[in-house]
């Protein structure tokens, strides 16, 4: 048995949870459920980040104390996670005594290592990120330097006395550690980003502030008598460790047991804090590093990151889940709506990539994969097994008489082995989208099994006295029951409510456990099975979709997109945009003018490669253009100028996978030499980037 300790970032309490926060928490929850199901000793931590200038300012704006603000908002996070069925084992608040004691102990160790010294800090600070920046990391807009994430002017911190941490000392040890532990930062693209950052050199880090007071005071005295509070990121990162410590003791037995299995799941916005600062603090304190930092991308709405600062992007995960449940008239509770959201978020985008959220894609997956594929299998199989099992007891023991049935059984057994093995590996490798894709192979095979074995025909023949048909029917029913058992357990990490309902129908009373391949098809039910019930995931019709869209989309997000027909820009009417179909950009396209045919040889002259955007910046005085650095698997990245600035903010592109025409003749555009072209959809107005539906290595050929 291994130990698996998964954490989410602790969320700032100046905000209430939106779909972006819910995504991280749902992924962590699914991974925790998976590890528990394979028998690992599992612990799942989330919580709230409550100190720092940002919270102090948010409280001041509301005219309340920081304590009152944190006491009001932190429980709202806990309540949303409860509403979303999140099964965290612990919830930590950085204002708790247990956390503060650990932070001080950690500080003391860092001081004892000779890594803290007093000096003065001067420079730019983004209160949104709670981070110090150099000008090369900021964007100049007019006269002011702006933070690329928060899109607002940064503050100048003028000569503030501060404790400094010798971060520079850990540059080489961190590079060595990452080289020796290739899975320390995952997926690989993010590891490369961190390595590049480390190689560019580390400057010592200011780890205390004296200009405000909402934070933990360090154990050290300042000889000048100034009152410091510990830098909020040092405070916050320590939560992962402090949640395991008793009375702030760094060597608590629980910490020693669980820490080596620690996995920090984070969004890409906070990679540097987790993959550079946190390991450096731990090395300084003489503590082991966590097992992995697993980084995911951003959910955007129309290309903009879902965030507090952009109200048009805010989607409330509880409203979304509840509206799906009520609009589709589910009979099995709001948990089914939550399952639908979890399924979509985890299936739609490989962990690590960005994803643009649209209700159209959610509805399409819901109807095709949940209502249709899974729902049909469950309903048909339950009906059949229940109807015939009194007379023909289901079993998987014995040999089929009919060759067709024998073939289906072999295929089903083989695929069950394969799917249980592969999906297990994919969950273990933090690839839930691939695991779900794998599991759906079995769901579809189950439907083929029903169609191909036609148990209702076997039943007719058995009733007419054919003994062989009777034993074949018992087998068909046994395998159908078995495949439902297996599928209920396979989907349980991502669809916990659906799995629980299905287990109830199947007479399974135990907690979900990862199935052991085809052997699991033979598990006998612990209790009676019930007849087919109302559908697990009722199909969403147009009216249901419109109701959900109305409930979920912030009014700004409904603003109709400008789309182009030929050369004229057309805008859909506000009324029409309220229906989900009209809210999408697809339907308004004129038939394309016929183009001359090309031969395959002509096509093969194009070198199409998968690439990854490393940096993106505006091209001065060209409002449609962005200058990108794109890794296409060559020794140095390509500079490419792309006309996509109206559709994508530069920071939304960083880390994105794109398709590149790599052998296009270089061209100088607005003074920048461009070496290739990014493939995108749209005419005058770009409406989306072309891509590959899996994460692939930069340089992978596309054909
Ligand atoms: N308090 C810090 C984290 C400290 S951890 C020691 C913080 N908090 S936050 O409230 O801003 O939440 C950040 C996390 O929320 C991101 O890292 C990510 O996991 C999640 N997300 C917030 N917006 C998101 C999207 N639009 N898309 C995906 N995840 C997003 O940073």
**Which pair of structure tokens corresponds to residue 537?**
């995931």
- In tens, the pLDDT along 381-421 reads 999 999 999 999 999 999 999 999 999 999 999 999 999 99
Burial class (CB in 10 A: 0-12, 13-18, 19+), 417: middle
Interval 170-200: pLDDT, tens: 999 999 999 999 999 999 999 999 999 999 9
Which of 230, 270, 298 to mutate for ligand 1's pocket (most ligand atoms within 8 Å of CB)? Answer: 270
Q: How far is the CA of 239 from the centre of ligand 1 (A)?
A: 15
Dist CA 42 CA 31 (whole Å): 10
Mean pLDDT on 197-225: 94
Cβ atoms within 10 Å of 482's Cβ, excluding its own = 27
User: Both ends of the chain: CA-CA distance in Å?
Assistant: 44
User: Is the Cβ–Cβ distance between 482 and 520 less than 8 Å?
Assistant: yes
pTM: 0.80
**CA-CA distance, 664 to 182, in Å (whole number)?**
35
From 21, 131, 281, give the residue whose CB has the most ligand 1 atoms within 8 Å, as the site to mutate.
21
Q: How far apart are CA 311 and CA 155, in angstroms?
A: 23
Ligand 1: which residue has its CA nearest to atom 29? 20
Predicted local distance difference test score (pLDDT) of residue 657: 92
Three-state DSSP at 566 gives: coil
Distance CA 554, CA 549 (A): 9
Nearest to 191 by CA among 275, 280, 289: 275
Q: Is the predicted pLDDT of residue 558 greater than 80, yes or no?
A: no
Task: Supply the residues annotated as catalytic.
Answer: 18, 21, 126, 129, 147, 150, 305, 308
What percentage of the chain has pLDDT greater than the value 70? 92
Q: Return the residue whose CA atom lies nearest to atom 19 of ligand 1.
A: 267
**What average pLDDT does the chain have?**
89
- Other CB atoms within a 10 A radius of the CB of residue 594 amount to 6
Enumerate residues lining ligand 1, CB below 6 A: 9-12, 15, 20-21, 23-24, 49, 236-237, 239, 266-267, 269-270, 298-299, 305-307
Q: Identify the DSSP state of 283.
A: H
pLDDT, tens digit (0-9, with 9 covering 90-100), for 90-107: 999 999 999 999 999 999
Number of the ligand 1 atom closest to the C-alpha atom of 240: 6
How many A from CA of 198 to the centre of ligand 1?
Answer: 23
Among 513, 488, 491, 517, CA closest to 413: 517
Task: Decide if 296 contacts 283 (C-beta within 8 A).
Answer: no
Q: Is the pLDDT of residue 592 over 80?
A: no
Q: Atom 10 in ligand 1: which residue has the minimum CA distance?
A: 11
Strands 3-7 and 41-49: parallel
Nearest CA to 637 out of 583, 675, 682, 593 is that of 675
Q: What is the pLDDT of residues 25-63, one digit of tens each?
A: 999 999 999 999 999 999 999 999 999 998 999 999 999
User: Is residue 258 a contact partner of residue 89, using CB atoms and an 8 Å limit?
Assistant: no
| pLDDT tens string 322-375 | 999 998 877 788 999 999 999 999 999 999 999 999 999 999 999 999 999 999
Can you read off the two tokens belonging to residue 320? 């979304």
The mean per-residue pLDDT over the stretch 486-511 comes to: 96
Among 13, 146, 157, which Cα is nearest to 79's? 13
- The answer for residues whose C-beta is within 8 angstroms of residue 354's C-beta and 6 or more apart is 297, 298, 299, 300, 652, 655, 656
Nearest to 369 by CA among 437, 424, 319: 437
**Rg of the chain on CA atoms, in Å:** 28
The answer to whether the CB of 413 falls within 8 A of the CB of 521 is yes
Q: Which residues contact 450 (CB under 8 A, 6 or more apart)?
A: 377, 380, 381, 384, 480
Torsion angles phi and psi, residue 679, rounded to 5? -80, 130
Closest by CA position to 70, among listed 88, 54, 81: 54
Measuring from atom 9 of ligand 1, which residue has the nearest CA? 11
Residue nearest to atom 25 of ligand 1 (CA): 20
Query: Under 8 Å CB-to-CB from 691, ≥6 apart: which residues?
Result: 657, 658, 659
State the burial class of residue 317 (Cβ atoms within 10 Å of its Cβ: 0-12, 13-18, 19+): buried
Count of helix runs (H) and strand runs (E) in the chain: 24, 30
Residues with Cβ within 8 Å of 202's Cβ and at least 6 positions away in sequence, in order, are 167, 168, 170, 171, 276
Give the total residue count for the chain. Answer: 703
pLDDT at 556 over 70: no
Q: Which residue has the tokens 């395998």?
A: 479
The average pLDDT across 266-285 equals: 97
Relative to the CA of 129, which ligand 1 atom is closest?
31
Q: How far apart are CA 694 and CA 434, in angstroms?
A: 9
């Amino acid at each position: 048995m291994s130990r698996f300790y998964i954490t989410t970032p602790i969320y700032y309490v100046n905000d209430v949870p939106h779909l972006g926060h819910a995504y991280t928490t749902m992924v962590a929850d699914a991974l925790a459920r998976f590890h528990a199901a394979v028998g690992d000793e599992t612990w799942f931590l989330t919580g709230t980040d409550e100190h720092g200038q940002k919270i102090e300012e948010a409280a001041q704006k509301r005219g309340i104390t920081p304590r009152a603000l944190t006491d009001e908002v932190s429980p709202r996070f806990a309540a949303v996670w409860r509403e979303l069925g999140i099964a965290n084992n612990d919830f930590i608040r950085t204002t708790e005594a247990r956390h503060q004691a650990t932070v001080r102990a950690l500080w003391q160790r860092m001081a004892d290592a000779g890594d803290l010294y007093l000096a003065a800090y001067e420079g730019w600070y983004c209160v949104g990120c709670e981070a110090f920046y150099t000008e090369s990391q900021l964007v100049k807009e007019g006269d002011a330097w702006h933070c690329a994430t928060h899109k607002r002017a940064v503050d100048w911190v003028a000569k503030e006395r501060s404790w400094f941490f010798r971060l520079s000392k850990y540059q080489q040890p961190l590079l060595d550690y990452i080289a020796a532990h290739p899975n320390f930062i995952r997926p690989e693209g993010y590891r490369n980003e961190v390595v590049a950052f480390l190689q560019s050199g580390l400057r010592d880090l200011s780890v205390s502030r004296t200009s405000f007071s909402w934070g933990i005071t360090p154990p050290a005295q300042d000889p000048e008598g100034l009152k410091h509070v510990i830098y909020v990121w040092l405070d916050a990162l320590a939560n992962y460790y402090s949640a395991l410590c008793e009375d702030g003791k760094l060597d608590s037995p629980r910490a020693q047991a669980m820490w080596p299995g620690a996995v920090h799941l984070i969004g890409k916005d906070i990679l540097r804090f987790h993959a550079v600062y946190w390991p450096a603090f731990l090395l300084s304190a003489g503590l082991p590093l966590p097992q992995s930092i697993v980084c995911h991308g951003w959910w955007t709405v129309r290309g903009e990151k879902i965030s507090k600062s952009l109200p048009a992007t805010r989607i409330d995960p509880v409203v979304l889940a509840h509206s799906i449940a009520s609009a589709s008239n589910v009979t099995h509770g709001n948990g089914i709506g939550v399952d639908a959201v979890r399924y979509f978020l985890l299936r739609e985008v490989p962990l690590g990539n960005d994803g643009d959220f649209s209700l159209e894609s959610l509805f399409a997956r819901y109807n095709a994969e949940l209502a249709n594929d899974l729902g049909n299998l469950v309903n048909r199989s339950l009906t059949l097994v229940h109807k015939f099992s009194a007379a023909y007891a289901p079993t998987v023991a014995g040999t089929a008489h009919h060759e067709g049935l024998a073939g289906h059984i072999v295929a089903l057994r083989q695929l069950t082995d394969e799917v249980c093995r592969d999906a297990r590996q994919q969950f273990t490798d933090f690839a839930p989208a691939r695991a779900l894709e794998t599991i759906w192979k079995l769901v579809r095979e189950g439907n083929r099994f029903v169609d191909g074995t036609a148990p209702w025909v076997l039943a007719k023949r058995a009733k007419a006295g054919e003994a062989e048909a009777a034993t074949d029917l018992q087998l068909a029913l046994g395998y159908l029951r078995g495949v439902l058992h297996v599928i209920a357990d396979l989907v349980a990490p991502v669809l916990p409510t659906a799995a629980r309902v299905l287990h109830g129908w199947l007479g399974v009373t135990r907690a979900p456990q990862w199935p052991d391949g085809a052997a699991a098809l033979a598990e006998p039910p612990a209790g009676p099975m019930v007849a087919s019930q109302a559908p697990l995931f009722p199909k969403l019709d147009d009216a249901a979709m419109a109701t959900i869209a109305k409930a979920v989309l912030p009014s700004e997000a409904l603003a109709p997109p400008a789309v182009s027909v030929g050369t004229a820009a057309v805008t859909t009417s506000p009324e029409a945009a309220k229906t989900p179909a009209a809210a999408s950009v697809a339907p308004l396209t004129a038939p394309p003018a016929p183009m001359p045919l090309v031969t395959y040889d002509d096509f093969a002259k194009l070198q199409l490669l998968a690439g990854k955007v490393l940096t993106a910046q505006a091209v001065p005085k060209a409002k449609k253009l962005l200058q990108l650095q794109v890794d296409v698997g060559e020794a140095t990245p390509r500079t490419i100028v792309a006309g996509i600035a109206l559709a994508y903010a530069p920071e939304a592109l960083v880390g994105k996978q794109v398709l590149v025409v790599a052998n296009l003749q270089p061209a100088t555009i607005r003074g920048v030499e461009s070496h290739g072209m990014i493939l995108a959809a749209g005419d005058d107005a770009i409406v989306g980037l072309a891509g590959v539906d899996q994460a692939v290595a930069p340089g992978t050929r596309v054909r």
